[in-house]
Structures are given as C-alpha cells and as structure tokens.
Amino acid sequence: MDKFLQYDHADFAMEDSFINWVKTRDENDQQFWEQWTREHPEKKSEIEKAILLVQSLKFKEKAVPQGKEDSIWANIVKETSTDESSTSPVKETVKEPVKKIKLKPDFEQEREQERNTKGSFRIVLAAIASLAAALLFFFWINQGSGFDSQHSTQLAETINLELPGGSTIQLNAESKVAYNKKTWENNRVVELEGEAFFDVKKGAKFTVETKYGTVEVLGTSFNVFARKDHFNVLCETGRVAVISDQEKTVLKPNQSVALIEGKQLKNENVLKDKNRALWRSGVYHYDAAPISKVIADAERHLGIEVKWDDQDSDLKFTGSFMGKDKEKVLTQICYPLNLNFEIKGHRVLLRKK
C-alpha cells in the first residue's frame, strides 16, 4: 500500500524527498513527486498546503558542541558521588530520601530528544498550516471553486484531452492545463503553462489564462504558446481576442500575435504550411528564430538535453525540423548553421565546426 495516501500536509512537509522536490534539489525526487501528484489528484489540497509549509520554513542543522556529552556525564557524577576519604566531622542531620537517578542509554536519550523535537515541529507546522489553509480559502473564494482537473505532459509526450461539452485540447510536451469540471458549463476557464492547441465548441465565453496574457473566444480553434516570458497566439478558425497589460488584439484566421517587450506585435498573414500549430503533426517551422528557442523546442519534442558552450549565440535559424529521429532532427537544425553534434543517450553536445 502507498503510505503517502495516508499523509496529511504536515506529514508531506516532513518527508525528505518531498522537501527535495519543493526545493528542486534532486532530479529523481522531482520526477517521482510530479508523477505521484498527477496520479493522485484527490491529494491536491494537502499537497498545496504542504508546499506552502516547506516554502515558508527554513531547515537548519544544529551541530552538537564537541565534548558536550562528556560534560553532562561529569556533572551527573559530581552531583551523585560521595567523598569516602573525607575526614571532616560528621554532623547529624535529618536524613532526606535519596533521589535515585536513572541513566538512560545514549540511544534512548537521542530518541526522546528526537520525539520532543518532532512534537515541537508539528506544533509549528500546525500553526503555519492554519495560516496556509486560511490563505488557500481566500484564494478559493476569489477564484470560484478552483480547478478540480489537471493534466500535464513530460518531455517528448503529447496528449489529447476532451473537455465537457465537446471542446478539445492537444497538449504539447512539458505543458500543463487545469480547469474546473463542476462549474464548466457557466465558467469555461482553462489555465495553461506551456503550449496547447484548442478546438472550442460554441457556448459560453471560453478563456485561456496564462502567466503572460489571456485569450478569450466563443467558438474557434487556436494555438497558445506561453513559456519563459514568450507569449504567442495563432488563430486558425473563428476569432480570438488576446489581452495582456490592458492591450487587446483581435485575431482572424491565419493571424497571430506575439508579446515582444511587453507590447503585442500582430502578424496579419501567417502561412498555413509554416505556422506554429504544425507541432501537432510533429513539424516545427521557424523564420529567423533565435537558435536558443529552436533548441528548446527540440529538447521538448525529442526528450533530450542539449549542451552547448555558446548558448548565448545570436545565430538565427530559418527552416523546419520534423519527426522523432534524433539524428535526422539534429541534422536538419545543425547543417544550415554549420554546427556539429554528438549524441550520447538522451544528451546531445553541440559544437561549432
């Protein structure tokens, strides 16, 4: 049985691997907990509280002073020993009961100290948990009932999702979406991190919220890219309204808008055979794109890690890559730019020729 299913937020917050995941210290812990949270959405509330706890606490190792145990032992011996060689006159005094001192083995003392420490820690966690719960409740009140459905993809993985009412989402690699089934009919809101293609059936207003901007439609199909301060929306059918920083752009089919230095830049005529939404068929096309963005797409598409000693290069790439064959894709990227590559498992090393 999975022991974590019995955990509450305080238990998660004291789990070393969970702490490593939140603090992004260990890749294996990151992979495990990301998969575990996806497989157990019923623990979402406890996981969110635990994350707040870990982020709000600072863990510090306190070293035990050298010789402390010897000092404690010497004090105990001093207080409990009698001086048999003393020649001082003995005065009669009222005898008091002798206090017996039971010395615990070192490991028992350590266990008791550990229990006391954990008890104190749980009290602190409980107090912080109350505050965290209040904050979560505040956000819940202000955002409706929150998101009860979440989906995400790993590197080199894409998935198709069907929403209530028949609308669909195609989620690209290393992306996340969240929405609320309970209130969907009257509140069609999707939160996106990464990239996805939406095919929306007519109905109530449909909104895609990202960190960089919002997309509003009634019934249409469109692609949204929202990663690392880069925001781009392409309209394939219908009409799309893109809103960011009080700026609004309405798109018609084969038009796109990109957020450049905080301003929306509209492209009036995007060619159908060279648009961003072609990723759905495994094709990525670029027109004078920074090589860093092309490499990032290749990493997500192929599930690889690219190492290059010239990551800040100002090289621009115009062309396409397609398919899942690593060598073919890397050749399509590197040959026009006069670059060499070396494949070692899922790692790729790029060099200038």
pLDDT digits (tens, 9 = 90+) for 17-76: 888 888 776 778 888 888 888 888 778 878 888 887 777 664 444 444 555 556 655 665
Q: Is residue 83 part of a domain?
A: no
Q: Is residue 65 part of a domain?
A: no
How distant, in Å, are the alpha carbons of 132, 207, 235 from that of 270?
47, 23, 9
Query: Do 225 and 302 lie in a common domain?
Result: no
Range of weakest confidence among 79-83, 126-130, 227-231, 282-286: 79-83
User: Model confidence over 174-199: pLDDT tens digits?
Assistant: 999 999 998 898 889 999 999 999 99
Q: Three-state secondary structure along the chain?
A: CCHHHHCCHHHHHCCHHHHHHHCCCCHHHHHHHHHHHHHCHHHHHHHHHHHHHHHHCCCCCCCCCCCHHHHHHHHHHHHHCCCCCCCCCCCCCCCCCCCCCCCCCHHHHHHHHHHHHHHHHHHHHHHHHHHHHHHHHHHHHHCCCCCCEEEECCCCCCEEEECCCCCEEEECCCCEEEECCCCCCCCEEEEEEEEEEEECCCCCCEEEECCCCEEEECCCEEEEEEECCEEEEEEEECCEEEEECCEEEEECCCEEEEEECCEEEEECCCCHHHCHHHHHHCEEEEEEEEHHHHHHHHHHHHCCEEEECCCCCCCEEEEEEECCCHHHHHHHHHHHHCEEEEEECCEEEEEEC
Query: Do 326 and 289 lie in a common domain?
Result: yes
How confident is residue 308, by pLDDT bands cut at 50, 70 and 90? confident
CB 308 within 8 A of CB 350: yes
Query: Do 1 and 134 lie in a common domain?
Result: yes
The CATH number linked to 292 is: 3.55.50.30
User: Model confidence over 119-135: pLDDT tens digits?
Assistant: 555 655 655 655 555 45
The CATH number linked to 255 is: 2.60.120.1440
User: Model confidence over 168-177: pLDDT tens digits?
Assistant: 999 999 999 9
User: Model confidence over 211-263: pLDDT tens digits?
Assistant: 999 999 988 999 999 998 799 999 999 999 999 988 999 999 999 999 988 89
Q: pLDDT value at position 54?
A: 77
Q: Is the pLDDT higher at 56 or at 283?
A: 283
Query: Do 52 and 184 lie in a common domain?
Result: no
Query: Do 234 and 324 lie in a common domain?
Result: no
Query: Would you say residue 137 has pLDDT above 50?
Result: no
**What residues make up the domain containing 311?**
282-352
231: which 2 tokens?
């925001």
Q: pLDDT value at position 123?
A: 58
Range of weakest confidence among 1-10, 237-246, 256-265, 316-325: 1-10
Query: Would you say residue 272 has pLDDT above 50?
Result: yes
Query: Would you say residue 102 has pLDDT above 50?
Result: no
31-34 contacts: CB < 8 A, separation 24 or more? 34/152
Q: For the chain, report the end-to-end CA distance as a whole number of angstroms.
A: 55
Q: Report d(CA 338, CA 313) in Å as an integer.
A: 13
Query: Would you say residue 115 has pLDDT above 50?
Result: yes
CB 244 within 8 A of CB 264: yes
Q: Is the pLDDT higher at 91 or at 291?
A: 291
How distant, in Å, are the alpha carbons of 154, 179, 191 from that of 141?
31, 16, 17
How confident is residue 206, by pLDDT bands cut at 50, 70 and 90? very high
Query: Do 175 and 252 lie in a common domain?
Result: yes
Q: pLDDT value at position 76?
A: 54
How distant, in Å, are the alpha carbons of 65, 87, 199 from that of 202?
70, 105, 10
Query: Would you say residue 93 has pLDDT above 50?
Result: no
Q: Is residue 163 part of a domain?
A: yes
Q: pLDDT value at position 63?
A: 47
Q: pLDDT value at position 333?
A: 94
Q: pLDDT value at position 157?
A: 95
Q: pLDDT value at position 252?
A: 94
Query: Do 223 and 262 lie in a common domain?
Result: yes
Q: Is residue 217 part of a domain?
A: yes
CB 275 within 8 A of CB 251: no
CB 200 within 8 A of CB 219: yes
Q: Is the pLDDT higher at 54 or at 143?
A: 54
Query: Do 222 and 348 lie in a common domain?
Result: no
204: which 2 tokens?
């109530």
CB 9 within 8 A of CB 24: no
Q: What is the mean pLDDT of residues 112-116?
A: 57
Of the candidates 227, 258, 274, which is a domain's last residue? 274
301 CB neighbour count, 10 Å cutoff = 23
Q: pLDDT value at position 100?
A: 45
Q: Is residue 66 part of a domain?
A: no
Query: Do 294 and 222 lie in a common domain?
Result: no
Question: Please, what is the average pLDDT of the chain?
Answer: 80
Question: Phi/psi class of residue 193: alpha, beta or left (left: φ > 0; alpha: ψ in -120 to 50)?
Answer: beta
CB 223 within 8 A of CB 276: yes
Q: Is residue 87 part of a domain?
A: no
Q: What percent of the chain has pLDDT over 90?
A: 48
Q: Is residue 95 part of a domain?
A: no
Query: Do 193 and 267 lie in a common domain?
Result: yes
CB 39 within 8 A of CB 47: no
Query: Would you say residue 88 has pLDDT above 70?
Result: no
Q: What percent of the chain has pLDDT over 70?
A: 73
Q: Is residue 321 part of a domain?
A: yes
Residue 18's φ and ψ, nearest 5 degrees, are: -65, -45
Which candidate, 204, 189, 201, 251, places its Cα nearest to that of 223? 251
